[in-house]
Structure 1
Amino acid sequence: MTDSNGLKILIADDEPLAAERLQMLLARIDDVLLVGTAHDGESAVRMAEALQPDLLLLDIAMPGQDGIEVARALSRHGKSPAVVFVTAFDQFAVAAFDVAAIDYLMKPVDADRLARSIDRARAYLEARDARSPDEALAAPPSQWLEEFWASDLSGLVRIAARDIDRVTAERDYMRLHVGKRSWLIHHSMTALEEGLDPELFVRLHRSAIVRRDFIAGFTRNSSGRWIARLADSNEQPVGRLYADQVRAIAGR
């Protein structure tokens, strides 16, 4: 994964001050080697292909190819570098998991937060490189969404899809419910329904998706409409268009 000088890192950011800050922060971290700095998407792809970094600290809003496009382009070339997005905008968090980013840092980058990202990158690369070719073929990347990034008071938080109890729509946003906490993400219900594993989740209403094992049972109200009883004692009305889902779950 790395040479004797440590983890090889490439910075891609069109803002000179932002790139310089990352360089200064990296200088304080042991066992890392800055191999270059790119200032637009096209040069980021060229430099990554030539320098073969282990980790790419990648801005998203750049002229020409943006960071998402850069990550997608590099993912087509064998073992691509681990990607940590570094951006001033949290609205790109939804797109980040589509290209398997291992972390998402908000500007101005905090030194401790960057150090944690470096540790996460090391762990990711070590686990990836430890897999044999047969294991890599036997375990292709999942076609389903496995994680989300959502805004939090401290910045951004990673949410594993399988930890989500239910999803409810709130105008142009979706609320992810995990235990007693919840987060808003900018996504459509249709896209979530198509992206979440149908073995784990089921849509019960035009504005609600529920994890299957979070459903404790079903009852009918006075008008004959199905109501899902959830594990947290809440209830979720079942839309008339989704009544077949109840019969499928119940095996009837």
Structure 2
Amino acid sequence: MAEAHSLRVLIADDEPLAAERLQLLLARADGAQLVGTASDGDSAINLTEALHPDLLLLDIAMPGLDGIGVARALAAQHPSPAVVFVTAFDQFAVAAFEVEAVDYLMKPVEPFRLQRALDRTRSYLEHRADRPRAGKGSQWLEEFWASDLSGLVRIAAKDVDRVSAERDYMRLHVGRRSWLIHHSMAALEEGLDPELFVRLHRSAIVRKDFITGFTRNPSGRWIARLADATEQPVGRLYSDRVRAIAGR
């Protein structure tokens, strides 16, 4: 980076007013320096190769190559710039996760959210050398993107206490908070580390160390007692998981 405390930032957005707003917010933010602007995907790539920014504030819906495509193309650079998506749409969160975006901001961007994204980027760049790249580290899901009032938030898989199904969505429960994500239960069961998580019902996955015990109801079906004092019925098709956990 240009300075230990300053990020070199490139803005890529095809909407002039949106790009201008980002420039104004960036000028008021701490530890950031604007080095250029681009209005389409190809220009974003060319300017990145010429200017070597630390961070791209990158729109997704742009003429030609979209923001996801830009992020994928730049991932081949060593080192590649950090990417924070800035968009009016939340349906690209999964794709953003796949290209290892540092953050995902919803338009109109609030000053505190931009500052938080800059702080996250700084931390990401400082510790990037210590992190395994996607596909070369764990084979299991390590994090999720979920909608938040101010945009989207990154949730570490290891922090999820349990997952419950709600129609076409899954609810991630983390302490007293929860978030909805657009995944299937089957995909989550396949993607979450089986050493950490277990599926106990067709509509429930639970982190193993969140289970405090098991009991049976009057009909003989297993019930899992959880650390938050709630209970999770165990589906008949998953009763073998109880014996596996209990070592019986």
Q: TM-score range by the shorter chain?
A: 0.7 to 0.9
Task: Letter of the 2:237 partner, please give it.
Answer: L
- Structure 1 residues 63-117: Cα deviation after superposition (integer angstroms, max 9, x where no partner): 3333223222222322211111111122222332222211111111112321222
Equivalent residue number for residue 48 of structure 1: 48
Measured in 2, the distance between the counterparts of 1:66 and 1:238 equals 44
SS state of the match for residue 218, structure 2? coil
Measured in 1, the distance between the counterparts of 2:127 and 2:2 equals 13
- Structure 1 residues 144-199: Cα deviation after superposition (integer angstroms, max 9, x where no partner): 22222322334433322211110001001111111222111222212222222222
Check 1:63–1:240 CA distance in 2 against 1; reply closer, same or farther (3 A cut): farther
Equivalent residue number for residue 64 of structure 2: 64
In structure 2, list runs of 5 or more residues that go unmatched: none
Q: Within 5 A, what are the aligned runs for 1:198-237? A: 198-237=194-233
Q: Within 5 A, what are the aligned runs for 1:134-213? A: 140-213=136-209
Measured in 1, the distance between the counterparts of 2:48 and 2:210 equals 44
Q: Within 5 A, what are the aligned runs for 1:85-124? A: 85-124=85-124
Range that drifts further, 236-245 or 2-11: 2-11
SS state of the match for residue 27, structure 1? helix
How far residue 223 of structure 1 moved from its aligned partner, in angstroms, is 3.1
Check 1:219–1:4 CA distance in 2 against 1; reply closer, same or farther (3 A cut): closer
Task: Letter of the 1:230 partner, please give it.
Answer: L
How far residue 209 of structure 1 moved from its aligned partner, in angstroms, is 0.8
2:125 is equivalent to residue 125 of structure 1: yes
SS state of the match for residue 92, structure 2? helix
With structure 2 as the length reference, what TM-score do the two structures score? 0.88
SS state of the match for residue 175, structure 1? strand
How far residue 208 of structure 1 moved from its aligned partner, in angstroms, is 0.8
Measured in 2, the distance between the counterparts of 1:167 and 1:99 equals 24
Alpha-carbon contact 1:94-1:187 (below 8 Å) kept: no
Between the two proteins, what is the percent identity of the paired residues? 77
Alpha-carbon contact 2:106-2:150 (below 8 Å) kept: no
Range that drifts further, 72-81 or 170-179: 72-81
Task: Letter of the 1:23 partner, please give it.
Answer: Q
SS state of the match for residue 90, structure 1? coil
In structure 1, list runs of 5 or more residues that go unmatched: none
The Cα RMSD (Å) is 2.4
Aligned residue-pair number: 246
Equivalent residue number for residue 8 of structure 1: 8
Measured in 1, the distance between the counterparts of 2:5 and 2:147 equals 35
SS state of the match for residue 204, structure 1? strand
